[in-house]
Amino acid sequence: MRNRNKSRISILALLTLVLLLAIPAGAQDAMNEFVIGVSETVVTLDMGVRSPSLAHKQVAYAIYEPLLRLGTDGSINPALASDWTMSEDRLTITLNLREGVAFHDGSPLDADTVVWNINSARDPEFGDGALPDYGRIASVEALDALTVQITMSAPDANILPALAAGSDSRALIMSRAAFEALGADEYAFNPSGTGAFKLASWEPGVELVLERNEAYWGESSGNADRVAFRVILDASAATLNYQSGDVHAMFSISAPELPLLEAVPGTVSGAVARGVNVLALNQHRPPFDNIHNRRAVMYAIDVEPVIALVYGGLAQPARGITPPNSFAFSEESPPRIARDLDAARAELAAAGNPDGFEFEVSVVAQPFRIQVLEIMQASLAEVGIGLVIQANERARHIAALREDTDIAEAGFVQILAALSAPEAYLGRFAGCGANIKIVGYCMDEYEALVAALPGIFDSAERVAHVREMNEVAWRDTISVPYLYPQIPYVYRGDIIEDFALNGYGLLDWTNFTVVGG
């Protein structure tokens, strides 16, 4: 586990569309500035730590940059590396770094810094532990001041997306000079990257402000000078702030608040389909070490009231862990399981507990998450299954999911990320090396599929292989994916232009324009 403990709180699932931003109608004279209302805060910007939310990711990808960059079409493009080559045997990747790029602290980007970043990400004692995407890297060396050579232990079709930080923000490049001068704990609050924006001020739990990096090496056609992420925990208070013009964009809005926000003049609203909600079941111990108990929960949960009451209709029932925003998603397979109480009772009987059982679910104490579990409580009770809600601080909830399997029998998981590798969603839950260790699904058949994947470079073959993995995971009911959410957002469309999403589904910070700025 991480040797730099700072409690995590995340910035809100501010996700994808933190793109659609704005400034007040009576905007500041000196700067083009806008404010985003968020319901949580960021606790660390040390990239040795896994991003706990898309909101955290939005800030991280403004401050830091990867070696390669994902295009909106899924292509791999130059970023801090101006070009690269891969040997015919696919075991050697040579990266040529851009000349003259500096970190926010003034230190230069060079090959030694990149080698340190990659090796740190491979180190199980660094931050949150070794980055799985780098698991097949055998060695990294600096050939000269601006050339890095990576040697692979075996070919890996995912290594270029991994270097592009497509699935994990820990592949973003930090300033080694700043990290070593400040130490891990201090650096976490004083980050230094090469991105288009840098940290201006930060009061955890209140507000985080980014400002334009005037020394940015890349092209930038936008005119925004500052962006503030203002923490407003209460949904009603956030709505009042938006109505008054103090906040200019909001995301992950609760269904009752959305019509009030849409009524504000100049507002544009919408929703983005992104990710999957999963009830992660702890197979390390009873009751979910028994597949029949897992299937009983799957059959008994009624997802329709969750979609109607919590999401205001902005979601669809799940048919597997791989969501529609992944190109490996299939409308045909695996099948969506309809609610079937008779089937649930039959599974309980097969498990040897026909009268049901009780289990605890760890969840971050946020109203919408609690509401989801309360609806599940009612539907599961119809077959005698008792769901006990264990509301935890984020740090304890993360520990329940990733470290201590004795904390709870299940965990509330919402993945709102746009992950580049089609197998990345499955990799969070399934397999011996899964990120969410509470699940504990480690079977030879599935591991053989995982082991074969890095050697499959053809896209169509890769998708077919991932779909087979998804079907095996669904057959074994490793957990219960129950819906694919759509994330509602509002923003002041009368005062923002040229906004766009980048290949990570995040705001293209460099090009949006504040009208009148």
Q: In which residue are the tokens 């269904």 written? A: 255
* Pairwise CA distance, residues 388 & 373, whole Å: 9
Cα distances (Å, whole numbers) of residue 100 to 97, 217, 309, 363, 439: 9, 8, 53, 46, 46
pLDDT score of 12 more than 80 = no
220-226-231-236 Cα dihedral, nearest 10 degrees: -90
Q: What is the pLDDT of residues 355-374, one digit of tens each?
A: 999 999 999 988 889 999 99
pLDDT at 28: 42
How far from chain centre, in Å, is Cα 327?
A: 17
Does residue 19 have a pLDDT over 50?
no
What pLDDT, on a 0 to 100 scale, did the predictor assign at position 50? Answer: 67
Helix and strand element counts for the chain (H, E): 15, 20
CB proximity list for 160: less than 8 A, separation 6 or greater: 68, 76, 84, 86, 93
pLDDT band at 30; cut points 50, 70, 90:
low
Domains contained in the chain, CATH given: 1-64+195-266+493-517 (3.40.190.10), 68-176 (3.90.76.10), 276-487 (3.10.105.10)
Helix residue ranges per DSSP H, 48-171: 54-63, 111-122, 159-163
Q: Does the pLDDT value for residue 22 go beyond 60?
A: no
For 93-119, what is each residue's pLDDT tens digit?
999 999 999 999 999 999 999 999 999
Report helix, strand or coil for 236: helix
Asked if residue 27 has pLDDT above 90, the reply is no
Supply the pLDDT for residue 52: 61
DSSP state of 40: S
Q: What is the mean pLDDT of the segment spanning 215-230?
A: 88
**What is the mean pLDDT of the segment spanning 141-154?**
97
By CB atoms closer than 10 A (0-12, 13-18, 19+), residue 92 is middle
Residue type, 383: V
Q: Is the pLDDT of residue 2 over 90?
A: no
What confidence score (pLDDT) does residue 392 get? 94
Does the pLDDT value for residue 182 go beyond 60?
Answer: yes
Pairing label, strands 92-97, 137-144: unpaired
Phi, psi of 38 (to 5 degrees): -130, 155
Question: In DSSP terms, which residues pair with 408 in a beta bridge?
Answer: none
Residue 39 pLDDT > 90, yes or no? no
Q: Residue length, the chain?
A: 517
* 294-335 pLDDT, tens digit each: 999 999 999 999 999 999 899 999 999 999 888 788 888 888
Amino acid residing at 123: D
Helical (H) or strand (E) element with 77 = strand 76-78
pLDDT (average), residues 229-249: 91
Q: Which residue has the higher pLDDT, 389 or 36?
A: 389
pLDDT digits 0-9 by tens, 471-495: 999 999 999 999 999 888 888 888 7
The predicted structure's pLDDT at residue 155: 94
pLDDT at 400 exceeding the cut of 50: yes
d(Cα 7, Cα 364) in Å, to the nearest integer?
13
* Contact partners, residue 75, CB within 8 Å, separation at least 6: 503
Confidence of residue 54 (pLDDT cuts 50, 70, 90): low
CA distance 58 to 502: 11
Report yes or no: 185 and 4 within 8 Å, Cβ to Cβ. yes
Q: What confidence score (pLDDT) does residue 499 get?
A: 65
Supply the mean pLDDT for the chain: 87
pLDDT for the residue numbered 32: 87
Judge contact between 373 and 363, C-beta under 8 A.
Answer: yes
Mean pLDDT of 262-290: 92
Residue of higher predicted confidence among 128 and 157: 157
Tell me the pLDDT band of 1, cut-offs 50, 70 and 90: very low
- Provide the pLDDT confidence category of residue 45 given band limits of 50, 70 and 90: confident
